Chain A
Amino acid sequence: MKLKSLKITAIMIFLSLAVSAQDWIVPDDQKNVANPLPYNLENVKKGKELFLKNCKSCHGDPGKNNVLPLVPPPVDITSEKMQKNTEGEIFYKITHGRGAMPQFGATISDDDRWRIVNYIQNFNPARQPMLVNAPATKAKLLASVNEQEKKVEIFAEYLAADGYIKLPNAEITISAKKNFGNIEIGKVRTGENGRAIFTIPETLIGDEEGYVNIVVALDETFIADVVTLDKAKVGQLKQVQKLIRPGVLWSTNENIQIWLLISYICVTGAAWLTIGYVAFQLFRIKKSSKTESSNIS
């Protein structure tokens, strides 16, 4: 088994050395395929999401050059090397991969791959960037859960020149708190009055009694505390499978066999009562030496 994996590694190293020696040539007809999706905020944003999910682990954060140390290395998407690719080239490379660069043709849809291309284009010096890093504004969120109607009511404010005022048209993410982090259950936008109402989906599963902690957050263009609401009964009951069959001896204290518990208590109790009785005899010895002064009978 060991030998086999050694062999594979050897072949991989050989291959990667071999390919790195040459440039990544994209067939001419592919090179100039035009991007069918328009370069706009929506597509770039979606592309960013996809990039964070699928590519960041190797290519790192844009502009930070914190790529994974592979041979040949993945490139930072803001780098010149990346940006001198045409859109068609990038699309082709994502689709087919090479060496350590996976092929995404089968896992990410054509449209989504083009969206990623759009996102990479955001860092192209020849383009007007769609995502600008405006300084984040301070904001505040107020939220409460309406248990009867299964709705989350939200009010958002942001810090303007003269104090906090209502924040219209901001995207708010609603999640449910789980044991290992939050799971997103939906998004809403605030209206003109800074308010938003989110209807909790019927399918949300709570704990054994249906309780859920709803978490409300603004996107990262705002500096605002994430609001974690108190437990509310807005989810379905979690079906907990009883893993221990009734009738087994090894069990938790909740479903211990009653006869076992009684036996334990009786046996231990009897032993310690007897010990207690003997200890009491020691007192009798002591008492007897006080009351009687006789030497011997």
Chain B
Amino acid sequence: MNKIESPAESRKMLDKIMTDLTRSITKKDELTRFWFFILIMFIIVGVWGWIIQIKTGLGVTGMRDYVSWGMYIANFVFFVAVSLIGFLISSALALLKISWAKPISRVAEQVAIAAVALAGIIIVMDMGRPDRFLNVFLHGRFASPIIWDVTVVTTYLTISVLLFYLPLIPDLALMRDHMADKLPKWKIKLYTILALGWKGNPEQYKIIYHSMRILMLLIIPVGLSIHTVTSWLFASTLRSGWDTTILGPYFVAGAFVAGTAAVIIVMFVYRVRYRLKDYFEDLHFDYMGKLLVFVCLVYLYFNINEYLVPGYKMKLGEGIHLRELFVGNYSVMFWFVQLTGLVLPIVLLLFRYFRKPFPIMVISFVVLVASWLKRYIIVIPTLEHPFLPVQNVPDHFKHYSPTSTEIMITIFSFVSAMLIITILAKLFPVITMWEYAEEKGIDKKYFSEKP
């Protein structure tokens, strides 16, 4: 990094960085209001759907005796998957000292927090008696992967919030000191409280670096566990399609695909909406594109293992399941997912052109949709083929299809995740300002100057 010597230049530069990076907070226009309006409308509709579901019971969903895990659980797995990106970018890449990933880490944390929070909410929404939620803790069995999952999801959420908060503290102090005239009082008050009276002395920086490092190390096992344990919810059963030893790494790899795509989309939106071309540069999209190709390749490799090996043997139950995926009822969805969610990004993103911001955003969107469908394919077809014969039941017990209430509630979860991300972006800078400024060669002493 090249040091900027002159104080005047430093101050000017810092000022520009702050103006740019707080644009998301200061910007107030019709579009913002409209966006909030849309989100809140959908959330109200979703909550209404949930109230119906609580009143009438889970009978309003398409879930019946055989398919007792439907869209909600598929959606849960999807959100857990997306949340894993926080661990990949803000910890794994940071520990490897990959510097281009630094400005992206807060976006990754935003996505992680929103996703893992929603994962928790979805589980409650999947419960027929959410008022008995606490029984999970009161009467949980320690030998049950469900308890492990609840434990690890809460732990991951806590660590993600801390990882988001710690590097934010100096930023909060910057805004507290420099933006009192530009922002409403309550925001400044919030920043003052959250900044913990930050002075910017070396000891405080040392504490931040130290704590960050610990969290980054801690989140590696926790991050790996969160999705591995989620996969065990399936893999610890004997059901065809789930009963495989590869499911843990398979889920983790798939999670990176979904998460990378989600982060690229959010980055693109910030870049356009808050005019952050100089911060989320073409270079970042280029690298993220390469990262996406890499994780897709890993996932492809696991997919080949996951389908080719049982497909070679075609054991009775497994064979029924696989035939259903390859050529049966789910074949259209299955091949769509495999092609657009894996093969297509790998092929396209090898070309430099497709790693430009707009094309890669479009590709990421398709990948994200495919990732969601992939979770659907992991959860539902297996349940439709139990080992014991399905007899003497109404036809709608045999095949699952989500009802409108279920779809409403699922849309609610997407919209809520977007709302959480929006609120975080409206309250806090989307890139760590002080880290960025330091990277650009501005000395720390200018941060704590009062204007």
A271/B222 in contact, CB under 8 A: yes
In the complex, the answer to whether A271 meets B142 with C-beta atoms within 8 Å is: no
Contact, CB under 8 Å: A290 / B155: no
Contacts A275-B218, A281-B210, A288-B207; is A252 near B198 (CB within 8 Å)?
A: no
A250, A272, A278, A282 interface centre (most CB from chain B within 10 Å): A278
**B448 and A295 within 8 A (CB):** yes
Q: Report yes or no: A277 in contact with B143, Cβ–Cβ below 8 A.
A: no
Q: A252-B141, A297-B201 are in contact. Are A271 and B155 (CB under 8 A)?
A: yes
- Chain A residues with Cβ under 8 A from B444's Cβ? 296
A residues 184-205 near B (Cβ < 8 Å) are none
B198 touches A275 (CB 8 A): no
| From A252, A277, A282, A290, contact of B214 by CB (8 A) | A277
Residues of B within 8 A of A264 (CB): 142, 148, 151
Q: Is A243's beta carbon under 8 Å from chain B? A: no
B214 touches A249 (CB 8 A): no
- Chain B residues lying within 8 Å of A279, measured Cβ to Cβ, are 162
With beta carbons under 8 angstroms apart, the residue of B159, B202, B207, B445 that contacts A281 is B207
B180 within 8 A of A: no
Decide: A289 and B198 in contact? CB cutoff 8 A: yes
A127 to B448, CA, bound (A): 112
Nearest CB of B to A262, in Å:
10
Query: Within the complex, which residue of B142, B151, B197, B211 is in contact with A290, where a contact is CB–CB below 8 Å?
Result: B197
Residues of B contacting A250 in the complex (Cβ-Cβ under 8 angstroms): 143-144, 236
Contact between chains at A289 and B143 (CB < 8 Å): no
Contact yes or no, B196 A256, CB < 8 A? no
Min CB distance, A157 to chain B, in Å? 47
Interface pairs (23), CB distance under 8 Å: A250-B236, A251-B143, A252-B141, A256-B142, A256-B143, A260-B142, A264-B148, A264-B151, A271-B222, A272-B155, A275-B155, A275-B158, A275-B218, A278-B214, A285-B169, A285-B196, A285-B204, A285-B208, A288-B199, A288-B203, A289-B201, A294-B199, A297-B202
Additional A-B contacts beyond A253-B142, A286-B197 (13; CB < 8 A): A251-B143, A260-B143, A261-B142, A268-B155, A271-B155, A271-B218, A275-B155, A275-B162, A277-B214, A279-B162, A290-B197, A292-B199, A292-B203
Q: Which B residues are within 8 Å of any A CB, using their own CB? A: 141-144, 148, 151, 155, 158-159, 162, 166, 169, 196-204, 207-208, 210-211, 214-215, 218, 221-222, 236, 444-445, 448
Q: Top 3 nearest A-B pairs by Cβ distance?
A: A289-B197, A296-B445, A286-B196
